[in-house]
Structure 1
Amino acid sequence: MTKRDTGRVLKTTALSLQLVEHILELEGASLADLAEASGLAKSTVHSHLNTLAEYGYVVSEDNRYHLGAKFCHLGDYVRTRKEYRRIAEEAIAHLSQESALEADFAVEEGGRIVSLYGDLDFTNFPQFLVDGSPFHIHTTASGKAIVAEYPRERVQEIVDRWGLPATTERSISTEEKLFDELQQVREQGYAESDGEAIEGLWAVGKAVKSPRGEVYGSLNLSGPAYAIDDETKAAQVELLTKAVETFEREVTEMYGAPSGGGERI
Protein backbone atom coordinates (compact mmCIF):
# COMPACT_ATOMS: atom_id res chain seq x y z
CA MET A 1 0.00 0.00 0.00
CA THR A 2 1.23 3.47 -0.83
CA LYS A 3 2.55 5.33 2.20
CA ARG A 4 0.90 8.67 2.79
CA ASP A 5 2.07 11.74 4.64
CA THR A 6 -0.43 12.15 7.47
CA GLY A 7 1.20 15.27 8.90
CA ARG A 8 -1.56 17.55 7.59
CA VAL A 9 -4.55 15.27 8.08
CA LEU A 10 -6.63 14.03 10.99
CA LYS A 11 -5.05 10.78 12.14
CA THR A 12 -8.28 9.04 13.11
CA THR A 13 -9.83 9.73 9.73
CA ALA A 14 -6.68 8.54 7.97
CA LEU A 15 -6.77 5.28 9.92
CA SER A 16 -10.38 4.64 8.96
CA LEU A 17 -9.61 5.25 5.30
CA GLN A 18 -6.57 2.98 5.49
CA LEU A 19 -8.80 0.22 6.85
CA VAL A 20 -11.16 0.74 3.92
CA GLU A 21 -8.21 0.27 1.56
CA HIS A 22 -7.02 -2.82 3.44
CA ILE A 23 -10.49 -4.35 3.05
CA LEU A 24 -10.42 -3.56 -0.66
CA GLU A 25 -6.91 -4.90 -1.12
CA LEU A 26 -7.69 -8.13 0.75
CA GLU A 27 -11.09 -8.47 -0.95
CA GLY A 28 -12.74 -8.84 2.44
CA ALA A 29 -10.97 -9.32 5.76
CA SER A 30 -11.45 -10.51 9.33
CA LEU A 31 -10.79 -8.36 12.36
CA ALA A 32 -7.50 -10.23 12.89
CA ASP A 33 -6.51 -9.67 9.25
CA LEU A 34 -7.11 -5.94 9.54
CA ALA A 35 -5.28 -5.66 12.85
CA GLU A 36 -2.27 -7.38 11.31
CA ALA A 37 -2.37 -5.32 8.09
CA SER A 38 -2.73 -2.00 9.92
CA GLY A 39 -0.53 -2.70 12.93
CA LEU A 40 -3.33 -1.52 15.21
CA ALA A 41 -4.84 -3.21 18.25
CA LYS A 42 -7.97 -5.25 17.56
CA SER A 43 -9.98 -2.99 19.86
CA THR A 44 -8.92 0.09 17.87
CA VAL A 45 -9.71 -1.58 14.54
CA HIS A 46 -13.09 -2.71 15.88
CA SER A 47 -13.99 0.85 16.90
CA HIS A 48 -13.13 2.18 13.43
CA LEU A 49 -15.09 -0.62 11.76
CA ASN A 50 -18.13 0.01 13.92
CA THR A 51 -18.09 3.67 12.92
CA LEU A 52 -17.70 2.84 9.23
CA ALA A 53 -20.50 0.28 9.47
CA GLU A 54 -22.78 2.78 11.21
CA TYR A 55 -22.54 5.05 8.17
CA GLY A 56 -22.85 2.26 5.61
CA TYR A 57 -19.27 2.15 4.37
CA VAL A 58 -18.53 -1.32 5.74
CA VAL A 59 -20.63 -4.45 6.24
CA SER A 60 -19.91 -7.59 8.25
CA GLU A 61 -20.69 -10.99 6.72
CA ASP A 62 -19.71 -14.27 8.38
CA ASN A 63 -17.13 -12.53 10.58
CA ARG A 64 -15.49 -10.84 7.60
CA TYR A 65 -15.70 -7.20 6.69
CA HIS A 66 -16.49 -5.97 3.17
CA LEU A 67 -17.03 -2.56 1.64
CA GLY A 68 -20.64 -1.43 1.70
CA ALA A 69 -22.87 -0.79 -1.30
CA LYS A 70 -22.87 2.89 -0.35
CA PHE A 71 -19.65 3.22 -2.34
CA CYS A 72 -21.64 2.35 -5.49
CA HIS A 73 -23.92 5.31 -4.88
CA LEU A 74 -20.98 7.60 -4.18
CA GLY A 75 -19.29 6.54 -7.43
CA ASP A 76 -22.51 7.06 -9.36
CA TYR A 77 -22.89 10.52 -7.84
CA VAL A 78 -19.36 11.55 -8.82
CA ARG A 79 -19.96 10.44 -12.42
CA THR A 80 -23.49 11.73 -12.88
CA ARG A 81 -22.97 15.17 -11.37
CA LYS A 82 -20.79 16.22 -14.32
CA GLU A 83 -22.86 18.29 -16.75
CA TYR A 84 -21.12 16.64 -19.71
CA ARG A 85 -21.70 13.05 -18.50
CA ARG A 86 -24.02 12.00 -21.33
CA ILE A 87 -21.73 13.45 -23.98
CA ALA A 88 -18.67 11.78 -22.45
CA GLU A 89 -20.38 8.41 -22.24
CA GLU A 90 -21.53 8.66 -25.87
CA ALA A 91 -17.99 9.56 -26.92
CA ILE A 92 -16.62 6.51 -25.09
CA ALA A 93 -19.25 4.26 -26.65
CA HIS A 94 -18.41 5.57 -30.14
CA LEU A 95 -14.66 5.14 -29.65
CA SER A 96 -15.20 1.61 -28.32
CA GLN A 97 -17.08 0.74 -31.51
CA GLU A 98 -14.55 2.30 -33.86
CA SER A 99 -11.34 1.22 -32.15
CA ALA A 100 -9.96 -2.10 -30.98
CA LEU A 101 -8.33 -0.26 -28.08
CA GLU A 102 -9.93 0.57 -24.73
CA ALA A 103 -11.46 4.03 -24.40
CA ASP A 104 -11.89 6.18 -21.33
CA PHE A 105 -12.35 9.76 -20.18
CA ALA A 106 -10.08 10.98 -17.38
CA VAL A 107 -9.90 14.10 -15.25
CA GLU A 108 -7.25 15.79 -13.12
CA GLU A 109 -8.23 16.01 -9.47
CA GLY A 110 -5.94 17.15 -6.69
CA GLY A 111 -2.96 16.99 -9.00
CA ARG A 112 -3.49 13.40 -10.10
CA ILE A 113 -5.42 11.61 -12.83
CA VAL A 114 -8.62 9.60 -12.36
CA SER A 115 -10.47 7.66 -15.07
CA LEU A 116 -14.07 8.80 -14.73
CA TYR A 117 -15.87 7.07 -17.62
CA GLY A 118 -14.97 3.95 -19.53
CA ASP A 119 -14.38 0.27 -18.86
CA LEU A 120 -10.65 -0.28 -18.56
CA ASP A 121 -9.93 -3.92 -17.73
CA PHE A 122 -6.95 -3.23 -15.48
CA THR A 123 -8.95 -0.86 -13.26
CA ASN A 124 -11.20 -3.65 -12.01
CA PHE A 125 -8.56 -5.27 -9.83
CA PRO A 126 -8.49 -4.36 -6.11
CA GLN A 127 -4.71 -3.84 -6.13
CA PHE A 128 -5.05 -1.25 -8.89
CA LEU A 129 -7.75 0.61 -6.97
CA VAL A 130 -5.50 0.77 -3.90
CA ASP A 131 -2.12 1.53 -5.45
CA GLY A 132 -2.70 2.47 -9.08
CA SER A 133 -5.58 4.93 -8.96
CA PRO A 134 -5.24 7.80 -9.29
CA PHE A 135 -2.24 8.08 -11.59
CA HIS A 136 0.46 10.74 -11.53
CA ILE A 137 0.25 13.31 -14.30
CA HIS A 138 3.65 12.52 -15.82
CA THR A 139 3.00 8.81 -16.41
CA THR A 140 -0.19 8.89 -18.47
CA ALA A 141 -1.24 10.20 -21.86
CA SER A 142 -4.35 11.65 -20.22
CA GLY A 143 -2.31 13.46 -17.57
CA LYS A 144 0.09 14.96 -20.07
CA ALA A 145 -2.73 15.95 -22.42
CA ILE A 146 -4.57 17.73 -19.61
CA VAL A 147 -1.70 19.59 -17.94
CA ALA A 148 -0.23 20.64 -21.28
CA GLU A 149 -3.18 23.06 -21.29
CA TYR A 150 -2.25 24.44 -17.86
CA PRO A 151 0.08 27.36 -17.22
CA ARG A 152 3.58 26.30 -16.17
CA GLU A 153 3.03 27.56 -12.63
CA ARG A 154 0.12 25.20 -12.06
CA VAL A 155 2.04 22.22 -13.43
CA GLN A 156 4.97 23.15 -11.17
CA GLU A 157 2.66 23.17 -8.14
CA ILE A 158 1.50 19.65 -8.97
CA VAL A 159 5.06 18.42 -9.42
CA ASP A 160 6.15 20.07 -6.16
CA ARG A 161 3.33 18.29 -4.32
CA TRP A 162 3.59 14.80 -5.81
CA GLY A 163 7.06 14.66 -7.32
CA LEU A 164 7.91 12.51 -10.35
CA PRO A 165 7.93 8.96 -8.99
CA ALA A 166 9.07 6.33 -11.48
CA THR A 167 6.14 3.94 -11.87
CA THR A 168 8.14 2.04 -14.51
CA GLU A 169 11.62 2.35 -15.98
CA ARG A 170 10.13 4.41 -18.83
CA SER A 171 8.49 7.04 -16.60
CA ILE A 172 9.57 10.66 -16.98
CA SER A 173 12.02 11.37 -14.17
CA THR A 174 13.04 15.03 -14.50
CA GLU A 175 11.15 18.31 -14.64
CA GLU A 176 13.09 19.37 -17.71
CA LYS A 177 11.97 16.29 -19.64
CA LEU A 178 8.37 16.73 -18.46
CA PHE A 179 8.12 20.35 -19.60
CA ASP A 180 9.82 19.50 -22.91
CA GLU A 181 7.26 16.76 -23.51
CA LEU A 182 4.35 19.04 -22.58
CA GLN A 183 5.58 21.50 -25.19
CA GLN A 184 5.60 18.69 -27.73
CA VAL A 185 2.04 17.76 -26.71
CA ARG A 186 0.90 21.33 -27.35
CA GLU A 187 2.57 21.35 -30.78
CA GLN A 188 1.17 18.01 -31.99
CA GLY A 189 -2.20 18.27 -30.24
CA TYR A 190 -2.14 14.94 -28.38
CA ALA A 191 -0.12 13.08 -25.74
CA GLU A 192 1.32 9.58 -25.63
CA SER A 193 2.40 7.21 -22.90
CA ASP A 194 4.45 4.16 -23.85
CA GLY A 195 4.86 1.87 -20.86
CA GLU A 196 5.25 4.83 -18.51
CA ALA A 197 2.31 4.07 -16.23
CA ILE A 198 1.91 0.33 -16.77
CA GLU A 199 4.58 -1.78 -18.45
CA GLY A 200 3.58 -2.80 -21.94
CA LEU A 201 0.64 -0.38 -22.15
CA TRP A 202 0.53 2.29 -24.86
CA ALA A 203 -1.98 5.14 -24.69
CA VAL A 204 -2.87 8.31 -26.53
CA GLY A 205 -4.87 11.16 -25.01
CA LYS A 206 -6.32 14.45 -26.18
CA ALA A 207 -7.68 17.23 -23.95
CA VAL A 208 -11.35 18.19 -24.03
CA LYS A 209 -12.31 21.79 -23.26
CA SER A 210 -15.42 23.69 -22.33
CA PRO A 211 -16.79 26.53 -24.50
CA ARG A 212 -14.87 28.91 -22.21
CA GLY A 213 -11.59 27.10 -22.84
CA GLU A 214 -11.45 25.37 -19.45
CA VAL A 215 -10.11 21.82 -19.46
CA TYR A 216 -12.76 19.21 -18.69
CA GLY A 217 -10.41 16.26 -18.99
CA SER A 218 -9.02 13.97 -21.66
CA LEU A 219 -10.41 11.34 -24.04
CA ASN A 220 -8.00 8.42 -24.29
CA LEU A 221 -7.35 5.17 -26.12
CA SER A 222 -5.03 2.50 -24.73
CA GLY A 223 -3.83 -0.99 -25.58
CA PRO A 224 -0.80 -3.28 -25.74
CA ALA A 225 2.29 -1.48 -26.97
CA TYR A 226 3.32 -4.41 -29.18
CA ALA A 227 0.21 -3.88 -31.32
CA ILE A 228 0.95 -0.23 -32.08
CA ASP A 229 2.82 0.74 -35.24
CA ASP A 230 2.91 4.09 -37.05
CA GLU A 231 -0.18 3.31 -39.12
CA THR A 232 -2.19 2.18 -36.11
CA LYS A 233 -1.09 5.19 -34.10
CA ALA A 234 -2.14 7.61 -36.86
CA ALA A 235 -5.55 5.95 -37.08
CA GLN A 236 -6.11 6.18 -33.31
CA VAL A 237 -5.08 9.84 -33.22
CA GLU A 238 -7.53 10.59 -36.05
CA LEU A 239 -10.36 8.79 -34.23
CA LEU A 240 -9.56 10.63 -31.02
CA THR A 241 -9.39 14.02 -32.74
CA LYS A 242 -12.83 13.56 -34.31
CA ALA A 243 -14.27 12.37 -30.98
CA VAL A 244 -12.93 15.44 -29.16
CA GLU A 245 -14.32 17.76 -31.87
CA THR A 246 -17.74 16.12 -31.53
CA PHE A 247 -17.58 16.26 -27.71
CA GLU A 248 -16.72 19.96 -27.68
CA ARG A 249 -19.31 20.80 -30.34
CA GLU A 250 -22.08 19.04 -28.44
CA VAL A 251 -21.14 20.76 -25.18
CA THR A 252 -21.23 24.10 -26.99
CA GLU A 253 -24.67 23.28 -28.37
CA MET A 254 -25.84 22.17 -24.92
CA TYR A 255 -24.97 25.57 -23.49
CA GLY A 256 -26.02 27.49 -26.58
CA ALA A 257 -22.62 29.15 -26.51
CA PRO A 258 -20.63 30.40 -29.51
CA SER A 259 -17.96 27.96 -30.72
CA GLY A 260 -14.27 28.68 -30.70
CA GLY A 261 -13.51 28.29 -26.99
CA GLY A 262 -11.27 30.61 -25.05
CA GLU A 263 -7.63 30.99 -24.20
CA ARG A 264 -5.64 28.24 -22.52
CA ILE A 265 -6.12 28.50 -18.75
Structure 2
Amino acid sequence: MGERDAGHGLKTTAVSLELVEHILELEGATMAELVEATGLAKSTVHSHLTTLAEYGYVVNSDNRYHLGSKFCHLGDYVRTRKEYYRIAQETIAWLDAESSMEADFTVEEHGRIVSLYGDLEFANSPRFLIDGSPFHVHTTASGKAIIAEYPESRVREIIDRWGLPTPTDRTITSEDELFEELERVREQGYGQAEGEAIEGFWAVGKVVKSPRGEVLGSLNLSGPAYVVDEETKATQVELLSRGVERFEQGLVEMYQPTAATDGEE
Protein backbone atom coordinates (compact mmCIF):
# COMPACT_ATOMS: atom_id res chain seq x y z
CA MET A 1 0.00 0.00 0.00
CA GLY A 2 3.10 2.18 0.19
CA GLU A 3 3.31 5.47 2.05
CA ARG A 4 -0.43 6.08 2.01
CA ASP A 5 -3.14 4.09 3.76
CA ALA A 6 -6.60 3.18 2.47
CA GLY A 7 -7.97 6.49 3.75
CA HIS A 8 -5.60 8.41 1.42
CA GLY A 9 -3.58 9.80 4.35
CA LEU A 10 0.12 9.32 4.98
CA LYS A 11 0.62 6.00 6.73
CA THR A 12 3.67 7.25 8.65
CA THR A 13 1.66 10.20 9.98
CA ALA A 14 -1.16 7.89 10.98
CA VAL A 15 1.25 5.72 12.98
CA SER A 16 2.64 8.72 14.87
CA LEU A 17 -0.86 9.96 15.69
CA GLU A 18 -1.88 6.48 16.81
CA LEU A 19 1.07 6.41 19.21
CA VAL A 20 0.06 9.79 20.61
CA GLU A 21 -3.45 8.50 21.25
CA HIS A 22 -2.20 5.33 22.92
CA ILE A 23 0.10 7.33 25.20
CA LEU A 24 -2.84 9.56 26.13
CA GLU A 25 -5.18 6.63 26.71
CA LEU A 26 -2.66 4.75 28.85
CA GLU A 27 -1.65 7.94 30.70
CA GLY A 28 1.94 7.20 29.81
CA ALA A 29 3.32 4.01 28.26
CA THR A 30 6.48 1.95 27.98
CA MET A 31 7.97 0.92 24.67
CA ALA A 32 6.71 -2.63 25.22
CA GLU A 33 3.16 -1.40 25.89
CA LEU A 34 3.16 0.68 22.71
CA VAL A 35 4.52 -2.20 20.64
CA GLU A 36 1.76 -4.42 21.99
CA ALA A 37 -0.95 -1.77 21.47
CA THR A 38 0.01 -1.05 17.86
CA GLY A 39 1.25 -4.45 16.71
CA LEU A 40 4.21 -2.72 15.08
CA ALA A 41 7.88 -3.67 15.21
CA LYS A 42 9.86 -2.21 18.11
CA SER A 43 12.20 -0.45 15.67
CA THR A 44 9.25 1.25 13.95
CA VAL A 45 7.74 2.42 17.22
CA HIS A 46 11.13 3.66 18.40
CA SER A 47 11.66 5.67 15.20
CA HIS A 48 8.30 7.39 15.53
CA LEU A 49 8.79 8.14 19.21
CA THR A 50 12.24 9.56 18.53
CA THR A 51 10.81 11.94 15.93
CA LEU A 52 7.91 12.95 18.17
CA ALA A 53 10.35 13.62 20.99
CA GLU A 54 12.60 15.74 18.75
CA TYR A 55 9.63 18.00 18.00
CA GLY A 56 8.51 18.18 21.62
CA TYR A 57 5.35 16.08 21.35
CA VAL A 58 6.48 13.29 23.69
CA VAL A 59 8.96 13.01 26.54
CA ASN A 60 10.71 9.95 27.94
CA SER A 61 10.82 9.80 31.72
CA ASP A 62 12.25 6.65 33.34
CA ASN A 63 11.62 4.63 30.18
CA ARG A 64 7.98 5.67 30.11
CA TYR A 65 6.66 7.92 27.36
CA HIS A 66 4.31 10.82 28.12
CA LEU A 67 2.86 13.58 25.99
CA GLY A 68 4.91 16.77 25.97
CA SER A 69 3.80 20.15 27.27
CA LYS A 70 3.78 21.39 23.69
CA PHE A 71 0.22 20.08 23.51
CA CYS A 72 -0.76 22.67 26.14
CA HIS A 73 0.37 25.44 23.82
CA LEU A 74 -1.44 23.87 20.89
CA GLY A 75 -4.65 23.61 22.90
CA ASP A 76 -4.39 27.23 23.98
CA TYR A 77 -3.83 28.25 20.37
CA VAL A 78 -6.89 26.35 19.16
CA ARG A 79 -9.10 28.00 21.78
CA THR A 80 -7.74 31.53 21.60
CA ARG A 81 -7.44 31.80 17.82
CA LYS A 82 -11.22 32.09 17.54
CA GLU A 83 -12.11 35.75 17.19
CA TYR A 84 -15.04 35.25 19.55
CA TYR A 85 -12.85 33.68 22.25
CA ARG A 86 -13.37 36.39 24.89
CA ILE A 87 -17.12 36.58 24.24
CA ALA A 88 -17.42 32.82 24.68
CA GLN A 89 -15.44 32.90 27.93
CA GLU A 90 -17.48 35.79 29.31
CA THR A 91 -20.77 34.12 28.40
CA ILE A 92 -19.75 30.82 29.99
CA ALA A 93 -18.64 32.67 33.15
CA TRP A 94 -22.06 34.33 33.28
CA LEU A 95 -23.85 31.00 32.84
CA ASP A 96 -21.67 29.39 35.51
CA ALA A 97 -22.74 32.13 37.93
CA GLU A 98 -26.44 31.90 37.03
CA SER A 99 -26.90 28.14 36.58
CA SER A 100 -26.39 25.18 38.88
CA MET A 101 -25.16 23.20 35.87
CA GLU A 102 -21.93 23.16 33.91
CA ALA A 103 -21.64 25.41 30.87
CA ASP A 104 -19.52 24.93 27.77
CA PHE A 105 -19.31 25.94 24.12
CA THR A 106 -18.82 23.33 21.41
CA VAL A 107 -18.11 23.30 17.69
CA GLU A 108 -18.50 20.72 14.97
CA GLU A 109 -15.31 19.68 13.21
CA HIS A 110 -15.07 16.87 10.65
CA GLY A 111 -18.47 15.57 11.72
CA ARG A 112 -17.62 15.38 15.43
CA ILE A 113 -18.42 17.62 18.39
CA VAL A 114 -15.53 19.25 20.28
CA SER A 115 -15.83 21.29 23.47
CA LEU A 116 -13.64 24.41 23.22
CA TYR A 117 -14.59 26.44 26.27
CA GLY A 118 -15.84 25.30 29.66
CA ASP A 119 -14.82 22.94 32.44
CA LEU A 120 -16.74 19.70 32.12
CA GLU A 121 -15.84 17.28 34.91
CA PHE A 122 -16.27 14.17 32.80
CA ALA A 123 -13.87 15.63 30.20
CA ASN A 124 -10.95 15.60 32.62
CA SER A 125 -10.24 11.93 31.89
CA PRO A 126 -7.98 10.95 28.97
CA ARG A 127 -10.63 8.34 28.13
CA PHE A 128 -12.96 11.17 27.13
CA LEU A 129 -10.45 12.40 24.56
CA ILE A 130 -9.87 8.97 23.06
CA ASP A 131 -13.31 7.38 23.11
CA GLY A 132 -15.21 8.97 20.24
CA SER A 133 -18.69 8.17 21.55
CA PRO A 134 -19.24 11.43 23.52
CA PHE A 135 -18.36 13.39 20.40
CA HIS A 136 -20.80 11.88 17.91
CA VAL A 137 -23.35 14.48 16.79
CA HIS A 138 -26.38 12.26 17.28
CA THR A 139 -25.54 11.52 20.93
CA THR A 140 -25.19 15.07 22.24
CA ALA A 141 -27.52 18.03 22.76
CA SER A 142 -24.94 20.32 21.15
CA GLY A 143 -24.52 18.03 18.15
CA LYS A 144 -28.26 17.87 17.56
CA ALA A 145 -28.59 21.64 17.90
CA ILE A 146 -25.82 22.24 15.38
CA ILE A 147 -26.74 19.72 12.70
CA ALA A 148 -30.42 20.72 12.91
CA GLU A 149 -29.21 23.87 11.14
CA TYR A 150 -27.45 21.91 8.40
CA PRO A 151 -28.93 20.81 5.08
CA GLU A 152 -29.96 17.17 4.98
CA SER A 153 -27.12 16.38 2.55
CA ARG A 154 -24.51 17.50 5.08
CA VAL A 155 -26.13 15.48 7.87
CA ARG A 156 -26.09 12.38 5.66
CA GLU A 157 -22.41 12.94 4.88
CA ILE A 158 -21.67 12.88 8.61
CA ILE A 159 -23.73 9.71 9.09
CA ASP A 160 -22.02 8.04 6.13
CA ARG A 161 -18.61 8.81 7.61
CA TRP A 162 -19.18 7.97 11.27
CA GLY A 163 -22.35 5.88 11.35
CA LEU A 164 -24.64 5.94 14.38
CA PRO A 165 -22.66 4.32 17.23
CA THR A 166 -24.62 3.48 20.38
CA PRO A 167 -22.60 4.23 23.53
CA THR A 168 -25.74 3.73 25.68
CA ASP A 169 -29.10 2.03 25.28
CA ARG A 170 -30.76 5.46 24.99
CA THR A 171 -28.80 6.51 21.90
CA ILE A 172 -30.55 7.16 18.59
CA THR A 173 -30.00 4.13 16.37
CA SER A 174 -31.60 4.93 12.99
CA GLU A 175 -31.51 7.73 10.43
CA ASP A 176 -35.30 8.10 10.52
CA GLU A 177 -35.22 8.56 14.28
CA LEU A 178 -32.42 11.11 13.99
CA PHE A 179 -34.19 13.21 11.38
CA GLU A 180 -37.38 13.15 13.46
CA GLU A 181 -35.33 14.36 16.44
CA LEU A 182 -33.77 17.15 14.38
CA GLU A 183 -37.23 18.33 13.38
CA ARG A 184 -38.16 18.53 17.08
CA VAL A 185 -34.99 20.51 17.71
CA ARG A 186 -35.98 23.03 15.06
CA GLU A 187 -39.48 23.35 16.48
CA GLN A 188 -38.41 23.87 20.10
CA GLY A 189 -35.24 25.85 19.34
CA TYR A 190 -32.76 23.71 21.25
CA GLY A 191 -31.26 20.22 21.37
CA GLN A 192 -31.55 17.90 24.33
CA ALA A 193 -29.88 14.65 25.32
CA GLU A 194 -30.44 12.43 28.34
CA GLY A 195 -28.02 9.56 28.85
CA GLU A 196 -27.41 9.22 25.11
CA ALA A 197 -23.64 9.79 25.19
CA ILE A 198 -22.91 9.21 28.86
CA GLU A 199 -25.13 7.25 31.24
CA GLY A 200 -27.02 9.48 33.67
CA PHE A 201 -25.95 12.70 31.96
CA TRP A 202 -28.46 15.36 30.80
CA ALA A 203 -27.67 18.30 28.54
CA VAL A 204 -29.36 21.05 26.57
CA GLY A 205 -27.72 22.91 23.69
CA LYS A 206 -28.63 25.93 21.58
CA VAL A 207 -26.78 27.21 18.52
CA VAL A 208 -24.90 30.48 18.42
CA LYS A 209 -24.87 32.28 15.08
CA SER A 210 -22.75 35.06 13.66
CA PRO A 211 -24.41 38.34 12.60
CA ARG A 212 -24.47 36.88 9.08
CA GLY A 213 -26.40 33.84 10.22
CA GLU A 214 -23.53 31.34 10.16
CA VAL A 215 -23.57 28.60 12.79
CA LEU A 216 -20.52 29.07 15.00
CA GLY A 217 -21.28 26.34 17.51
CA SER A 218 -23.52 25.47 20.43
CA LEU A 219 -23.75 26.91 23.93
CA ASN A 220 -24.67 24.17 26.41
CA LEU A 221 -25.72 23.43 29.97
CA SER A 222 -25.35 19.95 31.44
CA GLY A 223 -25.46 17.95 34.64
CA PRO A 224 -26.75 14.76 36.31
CA ALA A 225 -30.04 13.59 34.86
CA TYR A 226 -31.47 12.71 38.26
CA VAL A 227 -31.69 16.39 39.28
CA VAL A 228 -33.61 17.42 36.15
CA ASP A 229 -37.40 17.71 36.35
CA GLU A 230 -39.67 19.77 34.09
CA GLU A 231 -39.25 22.91 36.19
CA THR A 232 -35.47 22.58 36.22
CA LYS A 233 -35.44 21.94 32.50
CA ALA A 234 -37.50 25.05 31.78
CA THR A 235 -35.22 27.16 33.98
CA GLN A 236 -32.06 25.89 32.26
CA VAL A 237 -33.52 26.41 28.78
CA GLU A 238 -34.43 29.99 29.70
CA LEU A 239 -30.94 30.66 31.06
CA LEU A 240 -29.39 29.11 27.97
CA SER A 241 -31.52 31.30 25.69
CA ARG A 242 -30.38 34.39 27.59
CA GLY A 243 -26.80 33.19 27.31
CA VAL A 244 -27.10 32.81 23.54
CA GLU A 245 -28.59 36.32 23.32
CA ARG A 246 -25.62 37.71 25.27
CA PHE A 247 -23.18 35.79 23.08
CA GLU A 248 -24.76 36.93 19.82
CA GLN A 249 -25.08 40.53 21.01
CA GLY A 250 -21.39 40.46 21.84
CA LEU A 251 -20.70 39.27 18.30
CA VAL A 252 -22.75 42.13 16.84
CA GLU A 253 -20.80 44.66 18.91
CA MET A 254 -17.50 43.03 17.99
CA TYR A 255 -18.21 43.23 14.28
CA GLN A 256 -19.62 46.76 14.35
CA PRO A 257 -17.24 49.33 12.83
CA THR A 258 -15.77 51.78 15.29
CA ALA A 259 -16.86 55.42 15.36
CA ALA A 260 -13.52 56.40 13.85
CA THR A 261 -14.03 53.98 10.98
CA ASP A 262 -17.57 55.26 10.41
CA GLY A 263 -16.21 58.79 10.06
CA GLU A 264 -13.64 57.90 7.44
CA GLU A 265 -14.32 58.92 3.89
Q: Which residue of 2 aligns with 1:148?
A: 148
Letter in 1 for 2:18: Q
Q: Which residue of 2 aligns with 1:262?
A: none
Q: Secondary structure at the match of 1:198?
A: coil
Q: Which residue of 2 aligns with 1:96?
A: 96
User: 1:138-177, aligned counterparts within 5 Å?
Assistant: 138-177=138-177
Q: Which residue of 1 aligns with 2:193?
A: 193
Q: Which residue of 2 aligns with 1:130?
A: 130
Letter in 2 for 1:71: F
1:119–1:211 distance in 2 versus 1, CA, 3 Å? same
Letter in 2 for 1:139: T
- Return the alpha-carbon distance in structure 1 between the equivalents of residues 12 and 134 of structure 2: 23
Q: Where does structure 1 lack aligned partners over 5 or more consecutive residues?
A: 258-265
Structure 1: 4+ residue segments shifted above 3 A:
none
User: 1:16-35, aligned counterparts within 5 Å?
Assistant: 16-35=16-35
Q: Which residue of 2 aligns with 1:62?
A: 62
State the Cα distance separating 1:25 from its structure 2 match: 1.0
State the Cα distance separating 1:134 from its structure 2 match: 6.3
- Return the alpha-carbon distance in structure 1 between the equivalents of residues 33 and 59 of structure 2: 15
Q: Which residue of 2 aligns with 1:81?
A: 81
Q: Where does structure 2 lack aligned partners over 5 or more consecutive residues?
A: 258-265
What RMSD over aligned residues (CA atoms) do the two structures have, in Å? 1.3
Determine if contact 2:58/2:67 at 8 Å carries over to the other structure. yes
Q: Which residue of 1 aligns with 2:260?
A: none
State the TM-score, normalized to the length of structure 2: 0.93
- Return the alpha-carbon distance in structure 1 between the equivalents of residues 192 and 114 of structure 2: 17
Deviations 1:13-59 (A, max 9, x none): 11111111111111111111111111112111100000101111011
1:133–1:106 distance in 2 versus 1, CA, 3 Å? farther
Q: Secondary structure at the match of 1:83?
A: coil
State the Cα distance separating 1:6 from its structure 2 match: 5.1
Letter in 1 for 2:53: A
Q: Which residue of 1 aligns with 2:237?
A: 237
Q: Which residue of 2 aligns with 1:38?
A: 38
- Return the alpha-carbon distance in structure 1 between the equivalents of residues 6 and 83 of structure 2: 34
Determine if contact 1:112/1:134 at 8 Å carries over to the other structure. no
Determine if contact 1:146/1:218 at 8 Å carries over to the other structure. yes
- Return the alpha-carbon distance in structure 1 between the equivalents of residues 101 and 6 of structure 2: 38
- Return the alpha-carbon distance in structure 1 between the equivalents of residues 6 and 145 of structure 2: 30
Q: Which residue of 2 aligns with 1:209?
A: 209
Q: Secondary structure at the match of 1:116?
A: strand
Determine if contact 2:105/2:220 at 8 Å carries over to the other structure. yes
1:140–1:163 distance in 2 versus 1, CA, 3 Å? same
Letter in 2 for 1:155: V
State the Cα distance separating 1:8 from its structure 2 match: 2.6
Determine if contact 2:139/2:193 at 8 Å carries over to the other structure. yes
Q: Secondary structure at the match of 1:138?
A: helix
State the TM-score, normalized to the length of structure 1: 0.93
Q: Which residue of 2 aligns with 1:221?
A: 221
Quote the sequence identity (%).
Answer: 74
Deviations 1:48-100 (A, max 9, x none): 00010111101111111110111001101100010100000111111111111
Deviations 1:100-142 (A, max 9, x none): 1111000000011000100001111011111147611100000
- Return the alpha-carbon distance in structure 2 between the equivalents of residues 134 and 194 of structure 1: 12
Q: Which residue of 2 aligns with 1:71?
A: 71
Q: Which residue of 1 aligns with 2:250?
A: 250
Determine if contact 2:206/2:219 at 8 Å carries over to the other structure. yes
